[in-house]
Structure 1
């Protein structure tokens, strides 16, 4: 009988989830476009990342590196692309982009529903209570308001499965559960949001320690170590490149406390568990911007599960406070509350220590808080149903309870996110007509025009966000076959961050006149970086205007940058610079020219003969993301400069013999090429 109950639950979950997302499939294929403050994580990070994944998988390769963003970017190592997750591997290998994205949402919610239901049934909760509990978790605010962060909710959908495996091992001590648990954790990690994996492990560790506290055998301590070791082995294919990236990134040593504790959950935000828009609605533009609200972000702080589940959680805490499961989840609820409140919490100091200081946004511990609330409320619903079954109006009360819970969850969930047709979202914005595909482009955008609409009007009207695609912020260019100097600033190498900061700090905006100025430092860096186009929503008088696109709220301009160096070129002179300040001083010298001199960080052992006027050539044979082949010809030994990002994973060969790659011009690459015709 139990297997039929489970099959019925699966059918209910599938139909309910399909119904919830049906608007993405009919009458036209549509996509979510819910924006964020200052930009869109969905349209500028997650959609481009998934599109890159689809392109790679359907070409029988892996997205190790993407040369079209950030002058080169280690896409796999960064992790959010979610390469090795089995759901992603299947969907993006088989389906078209729109279908893969939308089926992915259905899969994520289905995984969360089934996992929660299975766990609730495992700890003794009835089928009806388990069914409702599954909807409480999967359709809570932590999923609904984070739909624009696909990899985050994908990782969160595995929380029930990690807890199920952990709890099952505690009860049964079956050795087979050790590799199974490691496999589940690795799949969560592969979903592409390591912080959620870390938060889940913190919660699972607390569950394990609490429920195993009366067991003193050595296996009690060896099992978690074995699970972690197996997880590291299974995840090495992602962990190793990510570690390599971390070592050269801006987060090598973690964040300072001020940044690690930024975006902590404010205590007053607890009122939104009763009414999600009690402090304002992000959708309607009435929620305060984070800089005016002590770092509070609506979608990071909203864990709404409805009012009745809160009452049932309180009920079970009073009714069954001696129950071991109630006690452990009450403890988890309390600890996760202290963690998510971050700098406002007595535990604030924990965010100064690794690994806690490797992540920002303490508010995300709300995922563990909502999970604990889900378990407690489900236990309360289970107890309530048991009490009402024998009463005269029990069935009516149970039915009314179910309807109220589902109504509150689904009305909030259905109305929150914005959608547009896939054709409108994915169509090349008109500005791309002026952005060449051969060289790179740069975006000057302070986000203020986006925020002027976002903060005051939200996303009830989505047309401005379709229009503002014309700014072509990275990584949206990946959808439109363009190459950007910049990359979406989640995690960058220290070298590129320094170079990009030099450009940004040397472009100034005059908001009164709606214009911008660009000085020599910024121009020289863009020229040496093979950037021949600048896109902005502000006017400039010094650069040649290639064209403009007039929108309802703003005009978008494309400008030509002259005297741009090719992506690969020879120089016969070099200068050693050992600091960013020295780099800046050097390029400010009016006599300095990147076309003839490269800036290196250490002297070369080879003698370079100055022969800049001699005949030379550099031609691309292969120009793929992970492989570049050049044929060169020079009459004397020369330095070949490639304006792509310097990164430890690359190797260089001249006529099939490995040669050293030097860091050049702060973040570029250079090799020494002997005279003659060579293949590099």
Structure 2
């Protein structure tokens, strides 16, 4: 319990994020087990690469190699079996049960065990890729192997001749440990290839073109397809050259190397709103951005309001692996094979609009955003906003977008100054999240989720200072619990030390 309390500063914010993700309420059985363990891979726990190695492109298995790879060394499983066979202590049986349960869970739909657990155990429906339970099995087997080796060493010592028996037994045990370390050292490092840091961190050519441009956000199209192509050309990752070539597309997350903002990213747990807009690591949901352009043989063809959607998310530039057919994208020199485009008339990071439209559902909002009737320079879509809080809609031809002046003192704070021609809404093209608070001229204001995954605050006519600050209650509560747990731990240690000192003096 103390350990859980100490981790509350991380666990409570994580629980909050989980409740805001598509995993809240549980995943479907089909989605949770879409990536499943290939049962023959059980052999790979004790034999290195029996079905080939993904790092050199020879893997022949029917699952994702890096999710199912659990090689423990040639000696580990045999000595784990020695412990189970010869040691009757409770700890051994507990470890054996954990190993068996971890393997049965990892097998997923291959046995009825995981199906029952999925239906009965609280929280299981929030997880996908059941073979990740291999970490339980592998940890238990490694601990059992240590106990088995100790048991074997004692058995050998008891039966060998006096004098040299203990030294011989210890030497044999040390040899097994050294052999296992050598085994793992020779077979596993290839799964984590290393590249020259200078070459890998060198700025892509497109950054030179962007150096003289005001850059809001950069969107990388077809980054997943380009990565998969590099994987095929590299035969896994035995040759890193294709990956260095692919870096010119500045795929999601790689942009962080050069502090270049991007609207999306590669993450395991995101909010439902982020998943709806930009997609997720999902076999079923690409997000409305990816779902509104199609890849043809030699070009990318945007559909509907795709580029307008990028523009309203403060995307100013686009990188693509092939030509993009859109009059709203202006070609730029990229200095590499990647195609670089400037988005015409992108919306600013923060801006005023006079009209608000209530969005009954996210699906309805997505349809409206990509319809020709939607004008992000005149209106904003609001979710779950009380109708009484909506300023009156202006007459046709009324005020349009007014850009706000934005300062960003830190990653958790935005300050926008706006000259509003009428009552309306300040829209901030940043991801919505409940931990944000807002003030208008120092007075607390309500933040409304807008345009599916943005923020909006109602403001009256005139000049105003609007401050957005990220202060999640979950973090504050978690820090309080962790602080109390740490204080209790320190107090307990001090009390024990004091008591022991008094006992020694007596």
TM-score, normalising length: structure 1: 0.61
Partner of residue 75 from structure 2, selected from 290, 305, 308 = 308
Report the CA distance between 1:609 and its aligned residue. Answer: 4.4
> What is the alpha-carbon distance in structure 2 between the residues aligned to residue 546 and residue 574 of structure 1?
35
- Residue aligning to 1:498: 276
- Residue aligning to 1:143: none
- Residue aligning to 2:15: 243
Report the CA distance between 1:404 and its aligned residue. Answer: 3.0
User: Between Structure 1 and Structure 2, how many residues are aligned?
Assistant: 440
Report the CA distance between 1:517 and its aligned residue. Answer: 0.6
Alignment of 1:356-505 (within 5 A): 356-389=124-157, 390-391=160-161, 394=168, 397-398=172-173, 400-435=175-210, 436=213, 438-445=215-222, 447-455=224-232, 457-500=235-278, 501-505=287-291
SS state of the match for residue 404, structure 2? strand
- Residue aligning to 2:488: none
TM-score, normalising length: structure 2: 0.80
CA contact (8 A) 2:418 2:465 kept: yes
1:526-582 CA-partner distances (Å, limit 9, x unpaired): 1211112111112224332212343xxxx2111122121111111112222212343
> What is the alpha-carbon distance in structure 1 between the residues aligned to residue 188 and residue 7 of structure 2?
34
2:100 is aligned with 1:323: no
SS state of the match for residue 607, structure 1? coil
> What is the alpha-carbon distance in structure 1 between the residues aligned to residue 193 and residue 356 of structure 2?
53
SS state of the match for residue 484, structure 1? coil
1:223-276 CA-partner distances (Å, limit 9, x unpaired): xxxx2xx44433332233223322222222221112223433322101112322
CA contact (8 A) 2:77 2:141 kept: yes
1:607-634 CA-partner distances (Å, limit 9, x unpaired): 3545745996621233532111122223
- Residue aligning to 2:437: 651
- Residue aligning to 1:343: 109
> What is the alpha-carbon distance in structure 1 between the residues aligned to residue 86 and residue 176 of structure 2?
19
Unpaired stretches in structure 2, ≥5 consecutive residues: 279-286, 467-506
1:339-381 CA-partner distances (Å, limit 9, x unpaired): 1111112212212443111111211221121122122222221
SS state of the match for residue 651, structure 1? strand
CA contact (8 A) 1:608 1:637 kept: no
1:371-429 CA-partner distances (Å, limit 9, x unpaired): 22122222221122223342578456556544433321221134442111222222222
User: In structure 2, do the counterparts of structure 1 residues 614 and 243 end up closer, same or farther at CA, with 3 Å as the change threshold?
Assistant: closer
> What is the alpha-carbon distance in structure 2 between the residues aligned to residue 451 and residue 650 of structure 1?
37
Alignment of 1:215-230 (within 5 A): 227=1, 230=2
- Residue aligning to 1:624: 410
> What is the alpha-carbon distance in structure 1 between the residues aligned to residue 51 and residue 129 of structure 2?
19
Unpaired stretches in structure 1, ≥5 consecutive residues: 1-226
User: In structure 2, do the counterparts of structure 1 residues 652 and 277 end up closer, same or farther at CA, with 3 Å as the change threshold?
Assistant: same
CA contact (8 A) 2:21 2:272 kept: yes
- Residue aligning to 2:374: 592
2:32 is aligned with 1:260: yes
Alignment of 1:554-565 (within 5 A): 555-565=337-347
User: In structure 2, do the counterparts of structure 1 residues 489 and 367 end up closer, same or farther at CA, with 3 Å as the change threshold?
Assistant: closer
> What is the alpha-carbon distance in structure 2 between the residues aligned to residue 558 and residue 262 of structure 1?
35
Q: Which has the higher helix share?
A: 1
The two structures, once aligned, show a CA RMSD in angstroms of 2.5
CA contact (8 A) 2:215 2:316 kept: no
1:138-188 CA-partner distances (Å, limit 9, x unpaired): xxxxxxxxxxxxxxxxxxxxxxxxxxxxxxxxxxxxxxxxxxxxxxxxxxx
User: In structure 2, do the counterparts of structure 1 residues 401 and 246 end up closer, same or farther at CA, with 3 Å as the change threshold?
Assistant: closer
Alignment of 1:126-145 (within 5 A): none
- Residue aligning to 1:9: none
CA contact (8 A) 2:351 2:418 kept: no
Alignment of 1:478-627 (within 5 A): 478-500=256-278, 501-510=287-296, 512-513=297-298, 515-542=299-326, 543-550=329-336, 555-601=337-383, 602=385, 603=387, 604-607=389-392, 609-610=394-395, 612-613=398-399, 618-622=404-408, 624-627=410-413
User: In structure 2, do the counterparts of structure 1 residues 329 and 586 end up closer, same or farther at CA, with 3 Å as the change threshold?
Assistant: closer
> What is the alpha-carbon distance in structure 1 between the residues aligned to residue 185 and residue 412 of structure 2?
45
User: In structure 2, do the counterparts of structure 1 residues 607 and 410 end up closer, same or farther at CA, with 3 Å as the change threshold?
Assistant: same
SS state of the match for residue 663, structure 1? strand
